[in-house]
Amino acid sequence: MEKKIAVMTGATSGFGKVVAQHLVETNHKLVFLARTESKAKELILNLDKGSSTEVDYVLCDLSSLASILRACEELRKRCSRIDLLILNAGLWNFEFQESKDGIEETFQVNLLAPVLMFQKLKDLIPTNEQSKVLLTASALHQGSIQFDDIEFKKSFSGFKAYRQSKLGVILTTRLWAKLPGNSSISFYSIHPGVIRTQLGARAGWLSRTIFKLIGSSLEKGARTHIYLIDQPASTLESGEYYAKAKIAKAAKETYDLQEASRLLETINTYLKDYLP
């Protein structure tokens, strides 16, 4: 059987490593993005690969739009098509931090980056009803998009910036699934659970301790991604938000497609120099 081609961000740490392992075990050619060569090589070394496995990586720092653009150009050279696009990378900052582009980093890495990647790679995704785009969201997505200060430059809260970025991911997923030009691709947003990863590594000691105490294993964190990878798209619902390997209840704000369109317009103003 011909291998499916999977492109993934956020494979080098956390439960993303378990998802990457699953991909190589299930007849995928995997091309992952990594921001450091050492972590890319470490992942390749640690993946338990069969003899016919194809794993490759492209260096990319998602906090630089130019780096994303270069990575997408490189992916075009290495992938004849992309059957599965897994946009899993994310961060949670506890202090205001700017990306290489001078944009609040959570907004850029968690939201602008996946939107830019999808728009740059969309034409490589086959229109065959089995193509999937998976975006990692979070149960922490309540609230609204703060359009008057979307980067929280006036008053920064790491929690609000993270929460907003994940609301944005769910809104974008729902909107993409409805756009006529995307009709043959399936889109899913995912809450992995509260998982012991490096996500909270920069939090204060109390939050880090709580995270360690209540967090589940990496294997549990990968469960919903693996479910969505394995199931035929015909048994799933495109645009939906999944947790614990089933459709999950999300906040009412995530269903507002007008808000989603407004958000995507705002995102595209940030990306205007990088899109045709």
Ligand X SMILES: NC(=O)c1ccc[n+]([C@@H]2O[C@H](COP(=O)([O-])OP(=O)(O)OC[C@H]3O[C@@H](n4cnc5c(N)ncnc54)[C@H](OP(=O)(O)O)[C@@H]3O)[C@@H](O)[C@H]2O)c1
Residue among 59 and 236 whose Cβ is closer to ligand X? 59
Q: How far is the CB of 92 from ligand X (least distance, A)?
A: 6
Site residues for ligand X per CB under 6 A = 9-10, 12-16, 35-36, 39, 60-63, 88-91, 109, 136, 138, 191-192, 194-195, 197-199
Q: How far is the CB of 234 from ligand X (least distance, A)?
A: 27
Cα–Cα nearest to 242, from 176, 178, 182, 173: 173
Cα gap 171→255, rounded to integer Å: 7
Q: How far is the CB of 107 from ligand X (least distance, A)?
A: 12
Residue among 57 and 176 whose Cβ is closer to ligand X? 57
Residue among 44 and 195 whose Cβ is closer to ligand X? 195
Residue among 174 and 196 whose Cβ is closer to ligand X? 196
Residue among 8 and 177 whose Cβ is closer to ligand X? 8
Q: How far is the CB of 190 from ligand X (least distance, A)?
A: 8
Residue among 71 and 177 whose Cβ is closer to ligand X? 71
Which residue is it, tokens 């996500």?
199
Q: How far is the CB of 9 from ligand X (least distance, A)?
A: 6
Q: How far is the CB of 33 from ligand X (least distance, A)?
A: 6
Could you give the C-alpha distances from 65 to 69, 228, 258, 272, in angstroms and in order? Answer: 6, 28, 26, 11
Residue among 23 and 91 whose Cβ is closer to ligand X? 91
Contacts 24+ apart (CB under 8 A), 123-126: 124/75, 124/76, 124/79, 124/80, 124/81, 124/82, 125/81, 125/82, 125/83, 125/85, 125/185, 126/81, 126/83, 126/184
Q: How far is the CB of 54 from ligand X (least distance, A)?
A: 20
Residue number closest to ligand X, CB atom: 14
